[in-house]
């Protein structure tokens, strides 16, 4: 287990199509998103919580500064939002309402927001938004790769072990 999480179901009418400060992430904003990722995600989780190489999702920008990023995946059963929002962000409750209005597609599909334990402060904002909390979950990682041994290194070691040790004798003249 490397983190905890809770999935929140947001039940807002989707009549608000004003995205406010949210816009599609582009190459220019992507460096700031990578920096935000490095600040929010604990360093030990960087090998697991990998940020995609290409811009996906939306960014919230206020006063010329990137304040938040959300990865969005949309399917037939709903919309999944994975936020990267620091606690001191200006993209709070009002911005989340705008975001949900933008991605809800007229309220036809439910919105799910995944909040990991390292962003637990977002749960208060989601409660204020009227979201319904799911049960706490454990996020786990299972390594599926086996270590591959370098064949040349193994052969070199076998040769070294097979040779008898030579002793060095010093003769004093």
38-52 residue pLDDT tens? 888 888 888 778 777
**Cα distances (Å, whole numbers) of residue 122 to 85, 109, 117, 128:** 8, 22, 10, 10
CB 139 within 8 A of CB 116: yes
Neighbouring CB atoms inside 10 A of 62's CB total: 14
In this predicted model, what pLDDT tens digit does every residue of 113-144 receive, in sequence order? 999 888 888 898 889 888 899 999 887 877 77
Q: Say what the pLDDT of residue 150 is.
A: 64
The residue ranking higher by pLDDT, 153 or 61, is 61
Q: Is residue 69 within a helix (H) or strand (E), and if so which, with residue range? A: strand 65-75
Report residue 146 as tokens: 């086996």
Domains and CATH numbers, the chain: 3-161 (3.40.630.30)
Q: Which of 89, 90, 70, 91 is nearest to 81 (CA)?
A: 70
Neighbouring CB atoms inside 10 A of 128's CB total: 12
Q: Say what the pLDDT of residue 113 is.
A: 92
pTM of the predicted model over 0.85: no
Residue the block writes with tokens 């995944």: 114
């Amino acid at each position: 287990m490397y983190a905890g999480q809770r999935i929140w179901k947001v039940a807002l009418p989707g009549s608000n199509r004003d995205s406010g400060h949210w816009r599609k992430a582009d190459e220019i904003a992507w460096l700031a998103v990578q920096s935000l990722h490095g600040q929010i995600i604990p360093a030990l989780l960087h090998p697991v919580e990998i940020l995609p190489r290409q811009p996906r999702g939306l960014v919230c920008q206020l006063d010329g500064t990137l304040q938040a990023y959300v990865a969005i995946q949309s399917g037939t059963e709903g919309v999944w939002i994975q936020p990267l929002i620091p606690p001191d962000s200006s993209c709070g409750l009002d911005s989340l309402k705008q975001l949900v209005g933008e991605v809800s597609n007229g309220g036809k599909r439910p919105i799910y927001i995944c909040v990991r334990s390292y962003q637990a402060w977002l749960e208060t904002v989601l409660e204020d938004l009227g979201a319904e909390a799911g049960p706490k979950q454990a996020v786990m990682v299972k390594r599926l790769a086996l270590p591959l041994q370098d064949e040349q290194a193994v052969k070199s070691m076998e040769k070294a072990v097979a040779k008898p040790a030579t002793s060095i004798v010093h003769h004093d003249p």
